[in-house]
Chain A
Amino acid sequence: MDYSKVNYQVCEHCLIIQLPKEVDDHNCQGIKVASEHIIKEKKIKEVVFDCSNTVFMDSSGIGILLGRYKRMKELGGAVYIHGESGRIKKIFKMSGVYQIIQSI
């Protein structure tokens, strides 16, 4: 199984990013570049981070989320998170992600 596989799905102006099993600095570099590209090309208004496959995340993952949040705010769009497990929830709570990004 590929631990770093990221899926990008575009539905109208919504981008769904299926995060990999482990989100660390290494695979965040690719997510940043690819998502920025898609947001620009497809005139994305909403970004959803699907964490349903994710079991590990460190602060690099939080950086990616906050980075997209800032970008979408500039563009007048929104960012959501979806499907996070207990461990990921703990990380999000600790870092205050839920104060600015809604879980759907």
Chain B
Amino acid sequence: MKQIINVENHSIETKTENMKLEFDSYSHNESFARVVVSAFMARLDPTIEELEDVKTAVSEAVTNAIIHGYKNTYGVIQLCATIKENTITIIIKDYGVGIENVKQAMEPLYTGEKESERCGMGFAFMEAFMDEIEVISKVNEGTTIIMKKTIGNRAV
């Protein structure tokens, strides 16, 4: 896909690059998803810090899909990523149980799995490490997490 932006008679082409991957909700695929995303975003020449931030956010989102979305069952997780200019958008989608109350689920320390050892920091980590996060969920249909990060925002 190509998008043409006209700036005072000069046309600058900004390419949008996409990738799409589907994998089973096995926990060993958490590291697989991290590796795929880090390889895909390598072309943006991120710092190690930026790379680790995105990897952590992906890990949290995929873990959520496995632990909460599919609980004791197995299903498919879809991972899509788009690079436009220097922004990466990552979409992680499951077709699991969904979240009844997204706002509550996103509160720090809230956990849907009280008996297991979850610290309830998943969404807090995603919010902290990415620039933008959006959660769309419908009970019994699944959850989609959309996260964005601009690489090269070096201003401190």
Residues of A within 8 A of B (CB): 3, 22, 24-26, 28-29, 32, 56, 58-60, 62-64, 66-67, 87, 91, 94-95
Contact = CB atoms under 8 A, between A and B. Distances in A.
A41 B143 CA distance: 41
Contacts of B34: 56
Nearest to A25: B63
A83 B121 CA distance: 23
A26 B56 CA distance: 14
30 contacts: A3-B31, A24-B30, A24-B31, A24-B59, A24-B63, A25-B59, A25-B63, A25-B66, A26-B27, A26-B28, A26-B30, A28-B117, A56-B34, A56-B55, A58-B60, A58-B125, A59-B118, A59-B120, A59-B121, A59-B122, A59-B125, A60-B118, A62-B121, A63-B117, A63-B118, A66-B117, A87-B49, A87-B52, A91-B56, A95-B119
Contacts of A67: 117
- Chain B contact-residue range equals 20 to 34
Q: Would you list the 7 A-B pairs with minimal beta carbon distance, nearest first?
A: A67-B117, A26-B27, A59-B121, A63-B119, A58-B59, A63-B117, A25-B63
Given A26-B31, A58-B56, A32 B117 contact: yes
Contacts of A25: 27, 30, 59, 63, 66-67
Contacts of A22: 31
Contacts of B121: 59, 62, 95
